[in-house]
Structure 1
Amino acid sequence: MASVNFLYRSTKEKSNLVLRLLYRYNDIDYVFGAKTKFEIEKTYWSKQHKKKSKDIEITNKQTDVNNELNKIENHVLKAFSSENIENINKEWLQTQIDNYYNPKEETNIPTDLISYIDFYLDYRKNEITETTKKKCRVIKNKLIKYEAFINKKILIKNINDSFKNEFVNYQKERMYSQNTIQREFVTIKTFCKHARYLGLETHHQLDGLRIEKQKVEKIYLTFEDLEKIENISKEKLTDSLDNVKDWLIISCYTGQRISDFMRFTDEQIRIENGKHLIEFTQKKTGKNMTVPLHPKVLEILNKRGGKFPYSISDQKYNDFIKDVCELAEINEPTKGSKLVETKKGSKIFRKQSGTYKKWELVTSHIGRRSFATNFYGKIPTTYLIYITGHSTETMFLNYIGKSNKDLALEITNYF
């Protein structure tokens, strides 16, 4: 339970009162203070405000002051009751007081989840990427089907443990993978937390809702695999496959996403101290990058008269690199998952785990992971993280599948 009191904290004869918010959480007492815009005289506050008086003017002033302070107190306590307690701090308190004096214009904010997704996309249209918008729309379409299945509106305030369990069961019956369900549920929570930020009611269970990730195999092309790919005889390759083969090698030696490397041009290359560098802006992160070009990439550029291969669609690239790796006989039995038609002729595909020839598991992302994995331990991790763009070393190590045991064994090399 929170409480509020007001203090006069100035040496001046007239000053604004300070509001102090007090509450206990996990057996710890918290106190935050913030300045109001309510100005009062020091003499009145210290000598007259809380004392009974026969002076009608003082009595009337006490009533007016108490009414205003009660309004401020109620505003703050109402905001406190609807906020995640872990978000409360001095800045939050000052924001609530500012909102009291300058209330936000009332906006017709949707309270059902599906409508809110459109509202969210419009609200954050200048902050999120097209890829994120596309993912949000995919989730929205799934929720539309789920809403039709349960025949009732999905309200934001009802996103709780019961909703999670029912939605997970619904998705599993349609053969979606555990990690797809987990990833999309995280996004659903993001919508709800954004709604709470704007003042909508959310369920008290929201922050504690979790879906476990399933461990997946980290598929990558070794240097030996890449050598096989480089050595595919020209007779086996069409022009299209030769183009894709070169892109695959480029991706494995630059560590970039397909959204970036497929846009590489010779105009982005500059030479400093005899070293070839490529400068570009990452599409996903917006980061300006300068990446050194590996000799393997320079070989391809020399072969093509200083030009990169021609660009193709993501889908064609995904299909053709499997053909290239099959021609290179990348046949090592490998655990992983691939898209499989649920029923013959259904045209509905879901990921299915199993053991396959490695070439069957190759996707456009494999170049980035191959770069990170192959050069781990050969190039300082700090430099690798710069090129791959991971935020932390922990994220990077998880990305290439390094466990605590792996790290411990590697450390023994220094003993």
Structure 2
Amino acid sequence: MARIKVLLKSKNNPAPIYIRLSDGRNVDVMAKTNYSINPSDWSSTKQEPKDLKDIHYANLNSELVALKSNLLKYYNKTNNNLLINTQWLKDFLNPAIEVIEEQKLPTTLVEYIDFYIDYRKHEIKETSRKKFNVIKHKMERFQKKRKKPILISDINENFKNEFVEYYKAEGYAQNTMQRELVFIKTFCKHARHLGLETHPQLDNLRLDRAKVEKIYLSFEELEKIENIKEGKLSESLENAKDWLIISCYTGQRVSDFLRFTKEMIRVENGKHLLEFTQQKTNKIMTIPIHKKVLEILEKRNGDFPYTISDQKYNDYIKKVCEVAEINNNIIGSKKVETATDSGIYRKKTDTYKKYELVSSHIGRRSFATNFYGKIPTTYLIYVTGHTTEAMFLTYIGKSNKDIAMELTNYF
């Protein structure tokens, strides 16, 4: 049976990541990938970056997982008469490397983002493409303000300081800065993989994340939503209310649960299961259907609520929660217009009514938070799709102190 590993062979920083394919005594080949990492950030036993909470390393790990999966498929499809050697593996890893070397790689960040999107067009999702283009347009405006191009080789501490000053002046939140700096580093590291020079300070550029309130709906609040009196909601709001309850008891992203249909349901040993493919990860999921979801299906003659757009869902569930009087004051962030009729919106942290902060993401976080401690964390991670327990605990806002206090229940 074929086995595939990713590993480091060097202690230098950055160290290239190698991939190795073995199958019994006849096949054992290894070649260098286009990825690299600081050896101190790599787990040899797990064959992955240590800190998967770091967006760059989480993306790197996802790409390595996909690479191993694609290599296995490629190997299984290979003609038995073909010699499996190092060159065969290199051909798989770098099918277009000669074409890339023949053309001149962009040296400015703005141009490279376009190149990166095109280079990875068969791998990245449409949501990622849009996200990268948003960053590109911001860099275009930043470049215009600083009156000189942003070179890949100039992404260093001085750039980071300029970047922070510009984002603050434009009213962007700390976490927006942190997240987009991580993506800028990803673009630059990709350029380095293909041979462009990057600054020695690149790998160590960091920005701290600001702590944000983890907004979720408790079981008590969900009960208030369920018990909204008949006639208080229009048909469209009643439909959105049912989707909200479904999301809070399935723990899935809005891109997935709004696509649920009765054809995805099957019954085994008297248990109702829901099977679907996650849009973001392409992972086939099978999850049990909670009784609250079954009640909604029964009310709707076995059907899920009718499909609506993400934007309408976002708008409607705020109104649903307002009718349910989910209106306690809490600190949170939401987009507000910077000035009347400016058309420019930025996230602002302030005290708001809770229903104002409800968004399409709240279902997944409510599921994870409400069932934490009631369902084994391993099962919760399976449903939510987090890569590690550390990522899951960060997602629901559990600090080391919280976990320590919970441990006291067992002493």
Smaller-chain TM-score bracket: 0.7 to 0.9
Over 3 Å counting, the alpha-carbon distance change for 1:367 and 1:25 in structure 2 is: closer
Q: 1:267 aligns with which of 249, 260, 263?
A: 263
- SS of residue matched to 1:109: coil
Q: Which residue of 397, 401, 405 maps to 1:405?
A: 401
Q: 2:381: which partner in 1?
A: 385
**Pairwise mapping of residues 233-252 of structure 1 onto structure 2 (< 5 A)?**
233-252=229-248
Distance in 2 (alpha carbons) for counterparts of 1:154 and 1:215: 30
Q: Indicate the residue corresponding to 1:352 in structure 2.
A: 348
Distance 2:38 2:385 in 1: 33
Aligned to 2:309: 313
TM-aligned CA distance change 1:23 to 1:258, over 3 Å: closer
Instruction: Please tell me whether residue 297 in structure 1 is matched to residue 293 in structure 2.
Output: yes
**Residue matched to 1:330:** 326
Q: Which runs of 5+ in 1 are unaligned?
A: 1-21, 31-82
1:44 matched to which residue of 2?
Answer: none
Aligned match for 2:138, one of 131, 137, 142:
142
**TM-score, normalisation: structure 2:** 0.77
Q: How far 1:24 sits from its partner (Å)?
A: 8.8
CA deviation after TM superposition for structure 1 residue 106, in Å: 2.2
The offset of 1:311, in angstroms, is 1.0
Counterparts of 1:254 and 1:24 in 2: how far apart (Å)?
44
Is the 2:250–2:290 Cα contact (8 Å) retained in structure 1?
yes
* Higher gyration radius (CA): 1
Equivalent runs, 1:203-242 vs 2, <5 Å: 203-242=199-238
Matches within 5 A, 1:44-123: 86=39, 104=98, 105-123=101-119
Q: Secondary structure at the match of 2:359?
A: coil
SS in structure 2 of the partner of residue 256 of structure 1? coil
Query: 1:152: how far off?
Result: 1.3
1:282 equivalent in structure 2:
278
Matching of residue 133 in structure 1 with residue 133 in structure 2: no
How far apart in 2 are the matches of 1:261 and 1:286?
Answer: 14
In 1, the alpha carbon distance for the partners of 2:317 and 2:168 equals: 30
CA distance in 1, matches of 2:232, 2:167: 42
CA deviations 1:134-157 (Å, max 9, x no partner) are: 100110111111111112111100
Q: Cα 1:256–1:84, aligned 2, differ >3 Å: closer, same or farther?
A: closer
Number of residue pairs matched by the alignment:
331
Whether contact under 8 Å (2:216, 2:365) holds in the other structure is yes
> Following TM superposition, where does structure 1 have runs of at least 4 consecutive aligned residues deviating by more than 3 angstroms?
22-26, 83-87, 102-105
Question: Cα offset for 1:211?
Answer: 0.8
2: distance between equivalents of 1:312 and 1:25?
Answer: 52
Q: Aligned partners of 2:294 and 2:121: how far apart in 1? A: 39
Question: Structure 1 residues 85, 334: CA separation in 2 closer, same or farther (over 3 Å shift)?
Answer: closer
**Shift in Å, 1:23:** 9.7
2:83 equivalent in structure 1: none
TM-superposition CA deviations, 1:92-149 (whole Å, max 9, x none):
xx99xx89xx984423211111111111111111111111111001101111111111
Change (3 A) 1:294 1:25: closer
When the two structures are superposed, what TM-score results if normalisation uses the length of structure 1?
0.76
Percent identity of paired positions between Structure 1 and Structure 2: 66
Distance 1:173 1:143 in 2: 14
Q: Secondary structure at the match of 1:377?
A: coil
Q: CA offsets, 1:73-93, max 9 Å, x none?
A: xxxxxxxxxx87759x9xxxx
CA contact (8 A) 2:12 2:39 kept: no
Q: Is the 8 A contact 2:250 2:364 kept in 1?
A: yes
Give 1:193's match in structure 2, choosing from 172, 189, 193.
189
Alignment partner, residue 147 of structure 2: 151
The residue matched to 2:102 in structure 1 has which SS?
coil
| Cα displacement (A) at 1:339 | 1.2
